[in-house]
Amino acid sequence: MGSLKNRDIISILDFTKEEILYILDLSKEMEKKGCPDILRGKVLANLFFEPSTRTRLSFEAAMKRLGGEVIGFDELGTTSTVKGESLKDSVKIIEGYCDIIVLRHFLEGASRLTADSISIPVINAGDGASQHPTQTFVDLYTIKNAKGVLENLTVGFLGDLKYGRTSHSLAYALAHFNAEMYFISPPSLRIPKDYMEELELRCVSYHEVDSIYEVSDKLDILYCTRIQKERFADPVEYEKVRGVYKLSKSIMDGLKVKDDLKILHPLPRVDEMDESMDTTSYAVYFQQAHSGIPVRETLLAVILGAI
């Protein structure tokens, strides 16, 4: 395994299975013991060209819990970009202020461009519809905690699989672990063809279905994502699919599922996951959200060479 020090985190595809497992193991230790002060004197720049409270606060809390400091901005409005500065210039300047950059940008490829322009490490916190790799580490960590293992699981992906970047990344990552995958979505929101081809290259066994009723009893993990109204040209079409991909306790009671099924959701949710689900044994999405801290602490510490 190559060194992870100074590594950029742009796509989950950049990490081997061995590296992923190593990060997850360290995250477990981090959650148990914490490591205050190991990043004392280090500065993280949180560059959020597009708002994302949860991700921003999660990186900020992780850095500060390890004794590091955070600078940054959380919207385009106050940046030099409004004066016409290029992203490349912005990051080349800010590189001189900090030890690591966390970037959220509305353009696909912005993170790779940034990493190629500067010499300090860059973490992609979401760029366009493409990658959000630290969320995938968090998802894998949550699954491993919930099931004990990552190998040989049957995983359902429910909701918007066309634009849902967290589902794409997680599917890629689970390809390392011999997962059987069910993609459950309306036909108009199927997983894009190039993702499919990538999964086939990796010999993943997958199935596309329209409804959770067809496959619920097979699943060890159900990964839900929101269907966004904005994706539909026709509101009637939206209203039609919306109800089908909504979970609640009473719907679960009518479904045949394994007792130890665990349900993840990257959050925020709107109405696709009813509050009545929160107290079921299936729900692990709040644990998933909280796992953002130990996993991001670990990634920061490893990349900055502190562990």
Query: What token pair was written down for 114?
Result: 């940034």
176 annotated active-site: no
Phi-psi bin for 288: left (phi > 0), alpha (psi -120 to 50), beta? alpha
Tell me whether residue 226 is annotated as binding: yes
132 annotated active-site: yes
The least distance separating a copy of itself from the CB of residue 219, rounded to whole angstroms, comes to 24
Binding site for a copy of itself (CB under 8 A): 36, 40-41, 43, 45, 48, 51-54, 56-58, 60-61, 64-65, 69, 71-75, 77-80, 82-85, 88-90, 92-98, 267-270, 275, 286, 289-290, 292-293
Indicate the pairing of strand 43-48 with strand 100-105: parallel
Residues ≥6 apart with Cβ < 8 Å to 272? 159, 224, 225, 226, 227, 242, 245, 246, 247
Secondary element (H or E) of residue 305: none
Tell me whether residue 83 is annotated as binding: yes
User: What are all long-range contacts of 11-14, with beta carbons under 8 Å and residues at least 24 apart?
Assistant: 11/124, 11/130, 11/131, 11/133, 11/169, 12/131, 12/133, 12/136, 12/137, 12/169, 12/172, 12/173, 13/172, 14/133
Which residue's CB is nearer to a copy of itself, number 63 or number 140? 63
83 annotated active-site: yes
40 annotated active-site: no
Tell me whether residue 104 is annotated as binding: yes
The least distance separating a copy of itself from the CB of residue 136, rounded to whole angstroms, comes to 18
The least distance separating a copy of itself from the CB of residue 88, rounded to whole angstroms, comes to 8
The least distance separating a copy of itself from the CB of residue 269, rounded to whole angstroms, comes to 7
Which residue's CB is nearer to a copy of itself, number 60 or number 127? 60
> Active-site residues: which are they?
54-55, 83, 104, 132
Binding positions for carbamoyl phosphate are 54-55, 104, 132, 135, 267-268
Binding positions for L-aspartate are 83, 165, 226
